[in-house]
Structure 1
Amino acid sequence: ADQQAALMLVGLRERLIRNRTQLANAIRGFAMEFGIVAATGMCRIEPLLERIAADQSLPELARELFAMHGVEYRDLLTETKAVEEKLTALHRSDECSRRLAEIPGVGPVGASLLMMKTPDPRTFKSGRDFAAWIGLTPKDHSTAGKVRLGVITRAGDEMLRSILVVGATALLQHVRAGRSRHASRWLTELLQRKKPKLVAVALANKIARVAWKLMVSGEAYRRTEEQTQAT
């Protein structure tokens, strides 16, 4: 029952974030119709709303409607924060979840979800099998003896797969900007050869394999884990 309630929390967080993103895009789109352009990113929405509220050249009705959108947007932010605080409390109460959160790209929410959604990790023969169960194994397109990796399969746990790919994507953004100490040789070389989206999936696969190893062994995360093959 506790696990089901925790999964409801995770699902609620995903829905709130999805609604927030849709609303932010709508606000930005409506603003463009009035000739007001804002940079991308959630952090740009509040300044955009402030600009609109102060722009006396806009029709009064338009400013009122933007203000209503602003109230809805802030309510979503408040609700999301409350849900994330509950998830963080669950995360902190679990020793294994705390260890998993130390893996770069995982964080409290990803760690909590790994604990909630994963059956006994020892039922998987290897980290590769665990990653495949999540759905992070790329489709195999083999021709003339050459293996080419394409998009990921749609098998596995969509929610868990999504949170790991999102975490990997965020980590890659810091690496590409030169703001991360987790820019391993493997990662930087892969970024030179592959598109960022494909690299994010490959990194999420590696994160899942390291997570499996920590769950099975009971060990804490070490920086050297990124350089080893989590079998």
Structure 2
Amino acid sequence: MSESALVGIDLGKHSFHLHGQDKSGREVFRKKLSRAQMMQFFGNLPACTVVMEACAGAHFVSRKLIAMGHQAKLISPQFVRPFVKGNKNDFVDAEAICEAASRPSMRFVSPKTEAQQTLSVLHRMRESLVHDRTKTANQMHAFLLEFGISLPKGLAVMKRLASVLAEHELPAQFISHLQRLHEHFAYLDEQIKALDKELVGQLAADDLGSRLLSMPCVGPITASLLAVEMGDGQQFKRGRDFAASVGLVPRQYSTGGRANLLGISKRGDKHLRQLLVQCARVYLQRLEHQKGALADWVRSMLMRRHSNVVACALANKLARIAWALAVHHTQYETGSSALSA
């Protein structure tokens, strides 16, 4: 086993399938191990390159392997799938991971730190709570509409629900059900505000997050998620690569020397892409108050493109600016430098 130079792991919940090969690509071993057995196995194995798919638990395993002296690499599952030979099973998947990792042009995912993963959990919790709060509010709107009460759109009306119920004669049991839903809505609202406060506190202590807040129309939620997903930005050669990883570049279907560009690719983190597009739309709404080269570029784009196209182009620009701030350790400045990022 000392000959193994590359080890592919097909990650599982309880069992892990390993495929080891030497520098020439010849298979050295195949093993099925539990989590504890795998950690013990790599603790006794000479330093080598270990490759996994970037899926659940991959970042934790990567940190453990790096601490043991191994080089850990993560690959997006979509890049491994073409290398699966024949029928699919766990050992074939592990072999395909090794085959994909041996390609010189393969792109890898940087392992996240514990702080990055913890902040990512906070964002996912907040997103889930916001979804539940919206669902609860919509449900209350629908129930009241069944009894002929039409409320204005939005969440603000939920805070004065008691006064609305007092103005109409409704069954007591129905009012009891609505009050129960309203209590659930209030609980979700409190949890979201608590998470927002925690997020702002963490962002204040983060150097990159604080610098990302200097970008136009970028708030704490977007800045913290950018810091989580991008890290130091060194895994991307240029800003356009980071924008492409978020899915903010045109999807291409070209052949015969004829370029055919479609809509944006929508790859990567959906939530981050949505936030960047929302920041771009806010920028467009307040365009008359914006100054500098970026504002001039947006105004010229609006003269020849639809506002939806300009919003996606501006989101792409914001992603590239964020990468420049992370790599060059600078802050956003309104002027010509904003457009060159």
Which deviates the most, 184-193 or 97-106?
184-193
Alpha-carbon separation, structure 1, partners of 2:214 and 2:229? 18
Which deviates the most, 85-94 or 161-170?
161-170
Indicate the RMSD between aligned Cα atoms, in angstroms: 2.8
The percentage of aligned residue pairs carrying the same residue is 35
Determine whether 1:210 maps to 2:321: yes
Could you tell me which residue of structure 1 aligns to residue 332 of structure 2?
A: 221
Could you tell me which residue of structure 2 aligns to residue 5 of structure 1?
A: 118
After TM superposition, give the deviation of residue 197 of structure 1 in Å. Answer: 3.8
Q: Larger helix proportion, structure 1 or 2?
A: 1
Q: Secondary structure at the match of 1:184?
A: helix
Aligned with residue 147 of structure 2, among 27, 34, 38: 34
Could you tell me which residue of structure 2 aligns to residue 24 of structure 1?
A: 137
- Amino acid of the residue matched to residue 43 of structure 1? A
Could you tell me which residue of structure 2 aligns to residue 200 of structure 1?
A: 311
Could you tell me which residue of structure 2 aligns to residue 45 of structure 1?
A: 158
| CA offset digits 1:53-86 (Å, max 9, x no partner) | 2123222222222222211111111000111111
Alpha-carbon separation, structure 2, partners of 1:4 and 1:150? 33
Structure 1 unaligned spans of 5+: none
After TM superposition, give the deviation of residue 187 of structure 1 in Å. Answer: 2.7
* 1:122-137 map, 5 Å: 122-137=234-249
Q: Is the Cα contact below 8 Å between 2:248 and 2:265 reproduced in 1?
A: yes
Alpha-carbon separation, structure 2, partners of 1:122 and 1:86? 27
Q: Secondary structure at the match of 1:22?
A: helix
Determine whether 1:157 maps to 2:266: no
After TM superposition, give the deviation of residue 4 of structure 1 in Å. Answer: 1.7
After TM superposition, give the deviation of residue 122 of structure 1 in Å. Answer: 2.8
Q: Is the Cα contact below 8 Å between 1:100 and 1:214 reproduced in 2?
A: yes
Alpha-carbon separation, structure 2, partners of 1:225 and 1:26? 49
| CA offset digits 1:28-54 (Å, max 9, x no partner) | 22222222223322323324x234321
* 1:162-173 map, 5 Å: 162-173=274-285
| CA offset digits 1:7-48 (Å, max 9, x no partner) | 11111011111111222222222222222223322323324x
Q: Is the Cα contact below 8 Å between 2:302 and 2:310 reproduced in 1?
A: yes
**Looking at CA atoms only, which structure, 1 or 2, has the larger radius of gyration?**
2
After TM superposition, give the deviation of residue 102 of structure 1 in Å. Answer: 1.4
Q: Secondary structure at the match of 1:139?
A: strand
Which deviates the most, 210-219 or 21-30?
21-30
- Amino acid of the residue matched to residue 133 of structure 1? S
Distance 1:224 1:41, change over 3 A: farther
- Amino acid of the residue matched to residue 172 of structure 2? E
After TM superposition, give the deviation of residue 128 of structure 1 in Å. Answer: 1.2
Structure 2 unaligned spans of 5+: 1-113
Q: Secondary structure at the match of 1:167?
A: helix
Aligned with residue 83 of structure 1, among 178, 183, 195: 195
Q: Is the Cα contact below 8 Å between 2:280 and 2:311 reproduced in 1?
A: yes
After TM superposition, give the deviation of residue 151 of structure 1 in Å. Answer: 3.0
Alpha-carbon separation, structure 2, partners of 1:188 and 1:41? 31
Q: Is the Cα contact below 8 Å between 1:105 and 1:164 reproduced in 2?
A: no
- Amino acid of the residue matched to residue 187 of structure 1? V
| CA offset digits 1:109-152 (Å, max 9, x no partner) | 21111111114413322211110011111324779x99776432
Q: Is the Cα contact below 8 Å between 1:141 and 1:150 reproduced in 2?
A: yes
Which deviates the most, 78-87 or 163-172?
163-172
What is the TM-score of this pair, normalised by structure 2?
A: 0.58
Q: Secondary structure at the match of 2:335?
A: helix
Alpha-carbon separation, structure 2, partners of 1:199 and 1:60? 52
What is the TM-score of this pair, normalised by structure 1?
A: 0.83
Which deviates the most, 213-222 or 61-70?
61-70
Alpha-carbon separation, structure 2, partners of 1:54 and 1:100? 47
Distance 1:5 1:123, change over 3 A: closer
